Amino acid sequence: MIAQRIAALRRIMKREGWDAVVIPGSDPHSSEYLPARWQQRQFMTGFTGSYGVVVITPTHAGLWTDTRYFIQFDKELAGTEYVLHKLRVPDAVSPSQWLGTNLPAGGAVAIDGSCMSVAEVEELRAAIHPQGGRIADRPDFIDELWPDRPATPDAPVWVLADQYTGRSAADKLSWLRGEMAARQADAMLISSLDDVAWMLNIRSADIDYTPVAIAYLLVTKADATLFLSLDKVQTADVQSHLAALNCRVCDYGTVAAAVASLPAGTRLWVDGGTLNYALYGCAIQHLGSGVMSAPLPIRLAKALKNDTELTGYRRAYLKDGIVQTKLFKWIEETLAAGTPLNEMDIADKQIALRREQGEYIDESFAPISAWGENAALPHYEPSHEVCSEVHPKGLFLLDSGGHYLHGSTDITRTIPLGPLTDLEREDYTLVLKGMIGLATAVFPRGTRGANIDVLARIPLWKALRNFGHGTGHGIGHVLCVHEGPQDLRQNVYDQAMLPGMVTSDEPGLYREGMHGVRHENVILCRELEKNEFGDWLGFETLTCTYIDPTPVLPELMTDEEKAWLNHYNEYVYIRLLPYLDEDEKRWLRSKTIDAQL
Amino acid sequence: MIAQRIAALRRIMKREGWDAVVIPGSDPHSSEYLPARWQQRQFMTGFTGSYGVVVITPTHAGLWTDTRYFIQFDKELAGTEYVLHKLRVPDAVSPSQWLGTNLPAGGAVAIDGSCMSVAEVEELRAAIHPQGGRIADRPDFIDELWPDRPATPDAPVWVLADQYTGRSAADKLSWLRGEMAARQADAMLISSLDDVAWMLNIRSADIDYTPVAIAYLLVTKADATLFLSLDKVQTADVQSHLAALNCRVCDYGTVAAAVASLPAGTRLWVDGGTLNYALYGCAIQHLGSGVMSAPLPIRLAKALKNDTELTGYRRAYLKDGIVQTKLFKWIEETLAAGTPLNEMDIADKQIALRREQGEYIDESFAPISAWGENAALPHYEPSHEVCSEVHPKGLFLLDSGGHYLHGSTDITRTIPLGPLTDLEREDYTLVLKGMIGLATAVFPRGTRGANIDVLARIPLWKALRNFGHGTGHGIGHVLCVHEGPQDLRQNVYDQAMLPGMVTSDEPGLYREGMHGVRHENVILCRELEKNEFGDWLGFETLTCTYIDPTPVLPELMTDEEKAWLNHYNEYVYIRLLPYLDEDEKRWLRSKTIDAQL
Q: Are B442 and B536 in contact (CB under 8 A)?
A: yes
Return the CA Rg of chain B: 25
Phi and psi for B54 in degrees, rounded to 5?
A: -105, 135
Considering the entire predicted model, what is its pTM?
0.92
> In terms of C-beta distances under 8 Å and separation of at least 24 residues, what long-range contacts does B563-568 make, across chains too?
B564/B436, B564/B439, B564/B440, B565/B432, B565/B436, B565/B597, B566/B596, B566/B597, B568/B541
Pick A464's closest partner by Cβ from B447, B464, B531: B531
Q: Which residues contact A330 (CB under 8 A, 6 or more apart)?
A: A349
| 8 Å CB contact of B454 and A450 | no
Inter-chain touch B447–A490, beta carbons under 8 Å: yes
Whether residue B450 and residue A451 make contact (CB cut-off 8 A), yes or no, is: yes
Give percent of chain A above pLDDT 90: 91
Low-confidence ranges of chain B (pLDDT < 70): 378
Phi and psi dihedrals of B225, rounded to 5? -135, 130
Look at B442 and A450 and tell me if their CB atoms are within 8 Å: no
Instruction: Report pLDDT digits (tens) over A429-473.
Output: 999 999 999 999 999 999 999 999 999 999 999 999 999 899 999
- Whether residue A526 is predicted with pLDDT greater than 90 in this model: the reply is yes
Name residues whose C-beta falls within 8 Å of residue B420's C-beta, 6 or more positions apart in sequence. B393, B394, B395, B428, B551
Least Cα distance to B331 among B339, B91, B538 occurs for: B339
- Residue B529: list chain A partners with CB under 8 A: 464
The ipTM value here is: 0.91
pLDDT at residue A299 in the model: 97
The angle at the Cα of A484, spanning A482 to A379, to the nearest 5 degrees, equals 25
Distance from CA of A346 to the nearest CA of B (A): 31
Structure confidence at residue B381 (pLDDT): 82
For residue B160, report the phi and psi dihedrals to the nearest 5 degrees.
Answer: -90, 115
Q: Are B220 and B186 in contact (CB under 8 A)?
A: yes
Phi, psi for residue A375 in degrees, rounded to 5 = -70, -10
Mean pLDDT of chain A: 95
CB contact under 8 A, A451 and B528: no
Residues 441-500, chain A, touching B (beta carbon < 8 A): 441-448, 450-455, 458, 461-462, 464-466, 490, 493
pLDDT tens-digit profile of A64-105?
998 878 988 998 999 999 999 999 887 889 999 999 999 999
Question: Strand pairing partners for B444?
Answer: B536
* pLDDT at A188 exceeding the cut of 90: yes
Sequence-separated (6 or more) residues with CB below 8 Å from residue A257 = none
SS3 call for A112: coil
Q: Is the predicted pLDDT of residue A183 greater than 90, yes or no?
A: yes
Chain B residues with beta carbon closer than 8 angstroms to that of A539: none
**C-alpha distances in angstroms, A231 versus A198, A249, B443, B484?**
21, 11, 55, 62
Nearest chain B Cα distance for residue A442, angstroms:
5
Q: What is the pLDDT of residue A253?
A: 93
Chain A residues touching B513 at Cβ < 8 A: none
Residue B284 touches partner A, C-beta closer than 8 Å: no
pLDDT for B326 equals 98
Taking the CA atoms of residue B189, residue B195, residue B197 and residue B198 in that order, the dihedral angle to the nearest 10 degrees is -120
pLDDT of residue B91: 81
**Cβ of A71 under 8 Å from any chain B Cβ?**
no
Q: What is the rounded distance in angstroms from the CA atom of residue B499 to the CA atom of residue B304? A: 7
Distance CA B214, CA B202 (A): 11
CB pair distance less than 8 Å for B440 and A462: yes
- Picking from A218, A309, A305, A302, the residue whose alpha carbon sits closest to that of residue A266 is A218
CB neighbours of residue A167 within 10 Å: 15
Look at strands B291-293 and A202-203 and give their pairing.
unpaired
User: Which DSSP string do the residues of A571-582 spell out, in sequence order?
Assistant: HHHHHHGGGS-H
End-to-end CA distance of chain B: 55
Please report, rounded to a whole number, the percentage of residues in chain A having pLDDT higher than 70: 100
Instruction: Give dist(CA A364, CA A369) in Å, integer.
Output: 14
A32-54 mean pLDDT: 91
Give yes or no for a cis peptide into A340 (omega within 30° of 0). no
DSSP state of B183: T
| Beta carbons of A464 and B558 less than 8 Å apart | no
Give tens-digit pLDDT for A245-277.
999 999 999 999 999 999 999 999 999 989 999
DSSP B328-375: HHHHHHHHHTT---BHHHHHHHHHHHHHHTSSEEEESS--EEEEGGGG
Q: What band does A53 get if pLDDT is binned at 50, 70 and 90?
A: very high
H-assigned helices in A141-250: 162-165, 169-182, 193-200, 236-244
Contact: A442, B461; criterion CB under 8 Å: yes
CB A306 within 8 A of CB A166: yes
What pLDDT is attached to residue B18? Answer: 97
Helix, strand, coil percentages, rounded to 5, for chain A: 40, 20, 35
Query: How far, in Å, CA of A380 to CA of A371, rounded?
Result: 10
pLDDT at residue A493, as a whole number: 84
- The residue of chain A with its CA nearest to that of B509 is A533
pLDDT at A378 over 80: no
Nearest Cβ partner of B464 from A453, A454, A531? Answer: A531
Nearest-neighbour CA in chain B from A438: distance (Å): 11
Q: Chain A residue with minimal CA distance to B452?
A: A454
DSSP E strands: which ranges in A102-191? Answer: 108-111, 134-137, 158-159, 187-190
Among candidates A440, A454, A528 on the partner chain, residue whose Cβ is nearest the Cβ of B455: A454
The answer, yes or no, to whether the previous bond of A485 is cis (omega within 30 of 0) is: yes
Q: CB-hemisphere CA count at 13 Å for A390?
A: 28
